[in-house]
Amino acid sequence: MNFTWNTPKMSDAADAYLDWFDHVYQPGTDGAYGYEITFVKIKPTGSPASFANTLSWLADKADNATASSDFLMDNVERERLSALLTSPPSGDDAPDLFLHRNRSDKDFAAKYEMEFDVIANGAARPTNPLSPKPTTPMPAPIVAIVDDAIGYLNARFCSDATGTRKTRLNRIWLQTEDELVAEGSLLAMQNGQQIDADAIDALLSKGSALDESAQYGAINDALFGSRISSIWHGITAGAGSELASTHGSHVADIAAGADPANATDPLLSCPMLAVQLPPQAVEDTSGSKLQPYVVRAIRWIIEQADALIVDGVHRPLIVNLSLGVLAGSKDGTSLIERQIAAEVIRREARAGMPMRVVFAFGNDNLTRQTGYMELKPDAPQDVTLRVQPEDYTPSFVELRGDEPQDLRLEIDCLGAAPLALASIPAGKSVSLVGSNGQGVARVYSMASTPLDGGSETKAFYVVAIAPTASFEGGKPIAPCGSWKITLGTQTKAQNVRIEVQRDDRPLGFQALARQAYLDDAALWDWTEPKKEPYTPRANGPVTSRGTHSAWLSETMPEQIYSAGAMLEDTGFAAPYSATGAPYVRKEPSLSAVGDSSWTLRGVMASGTLSGTTAVLSGTSVAAPQITRELAILFSSNPDIGPWNTAAQNANHEMDWLKNLPWSFEPAVQTDQLGPVTISSKVGIRPRMDQAH
């Protein structure tokens, strides 16, 4: 088939990933796919103007929504709205809420500009206020997990002080894809199911008669049935908790699991909260569906944590997020970075207790998905993108330059005349169209957008490529093989980041994607490895620098940690552990064990069912070790909290981590390990085969 690049056309896509998914999979506008999640900041209205007036108006709109309504609210956000109606904010403390906007309404923001602002990239970060120090001891902290399938009946998440097993999980939210529900002519959104401690304890009271696997199967069938994902065609949208080993169960055990009979384990006094993300969102490791679900999960966790007051005193809160994506702004302007930073600072100010979020730094050091070019005027450089055969999911590449308006782009692929080297005006797109009229690739020139609180995002390009195989006839199919990407600058020298978005399958999901990657002749020239503070980039454009998660930037507040992975026997970075870069984020906050050695891989923790074990590697298992150590620290009633400055707290915490039984400051590879490498591994089960 012959392909042709068309001329630039205006594009109204606010999210290139979602727009391309719509084009490739054509899910239609039936049910929930007729709506798009939208984040808004409430404005005061009425006379006199107040937030209460707007919130009451919003509640009326949500409760009386029909098929012709401009927006709906899901059940969790409606509960949040009810809480705001009970205690309306005052002053300048404008609340924010998620709405489900009718996608047929193209003028949504302008239509409701009197009632709210659309803030797609989250709310501005508030200042770090100092709170008074409590006069009573700090209660044991809450440990929360946001991940995929979590074995919430597992004995490692229980206590057994009275001889009867009781769950430490105060509540878990089993998220699903948002689902449209109707009651007569009224419509609303529904998301998943929440299970509280009483319901879990009722199941645990069955003792040996409890069939954990059957219970997970029953609730998964009720939540997902045999529905097929409208985006990932051919995938049954069931949850992974029916698998023997799940990422979420393993991470939760490392972060807060304990032997229920071991009364000396400090984690037994720590309540737990958990959110199991929708299977479809976790399947989509490109992150196009993931961010809103994660932000909603964090907000829900904070609300649940605020209810767990001990003698009038809030508990500290530590949230583990062993998730991430590779490509992104990496400058603090994404929704997940901005909103989580805002939520943490708000919670500390309101509760007067510390809150921490721990991220995995990333595992893509060796995947050849990151490039870097130092461009000079009229001296283009190129790199090859290898798009693989039998890839059932789209591929994406982000191109981010210092001077995006001057960045020129050329693409040459099999069966098409090249897209000539030129700049594409912001807000337009160029498509590669086959002889049948279908677009098989598209270059989006994403314009800068204003941010809440001032400033704006930077413009950038997204190259979107259709799958190279499909389960269904009639869908766009792109040619596999080499796609040469040439970049140039016309008037100003500039540096450009090239990032292939990760879209391979995570643990437990069908391997329908084959990861596209970057290639260059310089990669095949052997160079001697060097142990330097920053790993030198290759002679060509492909580099391991800046391979960390796009949800982590240099601007993140001290309350947010990121964890790299190390080899326990040598103290060196695990080969897959992402490398920082001085032009985005220099290094992780610190590191923990990801593998015992080069040959003895992984960290031992629980499988899905009680009494089972599994071994997993990566920064995903390093992060919950940091979470666990922070929980142990906060359980000791330290002088850490928002009554100190954030920098003072960070220094206290890092000093404590440095004094753990197994801890050192690395002299090399700081771009992969961070300033401190720790692992006391208190309460984590040792590998029986650790003989080194």
Q: 409-450 pLDDT, tens per residue?
A: 999 998 788 999 999 999 999 999 998 889 999 999 999 999
Among 490, 524, 558, the domain-final residue is 524
Q: Are both 171 and 286 inside the same structural domain? A: yes
Are 148 and 273 in a shared domain? yes
Do 582 and 605 fall within a single domain? yes
Q: Could you tell me if residue 288 is inside a domain?
A: yes
Q: Where are the beta strands (DSSP E) in 160-302?
A: 166-167, 169-174, 179-183, 186-190, 193-196, 272-276
Contact between 363 and 573 under an 8 Å Cβ cutoff? The reply is no
Q: CATH number of the domain at 305, please.
A: 3.40.50.200
- Distance in angstroms (rounded) separating the CA atoms of residues 533 and 504: 30
- 664 plus 564 within the same structural domain: yes
Distance CA 381, CA 485 (A): 8
**649 with 511, same domain?**
no
In a domain, 227, yes or no: no
Do residues 260 and 350 both lie within one domain?
yes
331 and 383 together in one domain: no
Predicted local distance difference test score (pLDDT) of residue 495: 97
- Residue 609 falls inside a structural domain: yes
Give CA angle at 58 (56, 63), nearest 5°: 95
The reported pTM is 0.95
Do 153 and 281 lie in one domain? The reply is yes
Say how many domains are in the chain. 3
Residue 234 pLDDT = 44
Question: In terms of residue numbers, what domain contains 35?
Answer: 22-118
Domain co-membership, 549 together with 567? yes
* Same domain, yes or no: 36 and 155: no
Residue 397 lies in a domain: yes
Domain end, chosen from 469, 496, 524, is at: 524
CB 521 within 8 A of CB 539: no
In this structure, what CATH number is given to the domain that contains residue 470?
Answer: 2.60.120.1290
pLDDT tens-digit series, residues 504-529: 655 455 566 789 999 998 888 776 76
Report how far residue 680's alpha carbon sits from residue 528's, in angstroms, rounded to the nearest whole number.
Answer: 34
Residues 373 and 436 placed together within one structural domain of the fold: yes
Quick one: what percent of the chain has pLDDT higher than 70?
Answer: 92
For residue 240, what pLDDT band results from cuts at 50, 70 and 90?
Answer: low
Q: Which ranges constitute the DSSP H helices of 149-259?
A: 197-204, 212-224, 247-256
In this prediction, residue 235 carries a pLDDT of 47
Q: Mean pLDDT, to the nearest integer, of 94-98? A: 96
Q: Which residue has the higher pLDDT, 287 or 216?
A: 216
Q: Which two tokens stand for residue 150?
A: 């979590």
DSSP lists the bridge partners of residue 349 as: none
**Per-residue pLDDT reduced to its tens digit, 362-390:** 999 999 999 999 999 999 999 999 999 99
Same domain, 497 and 549: no
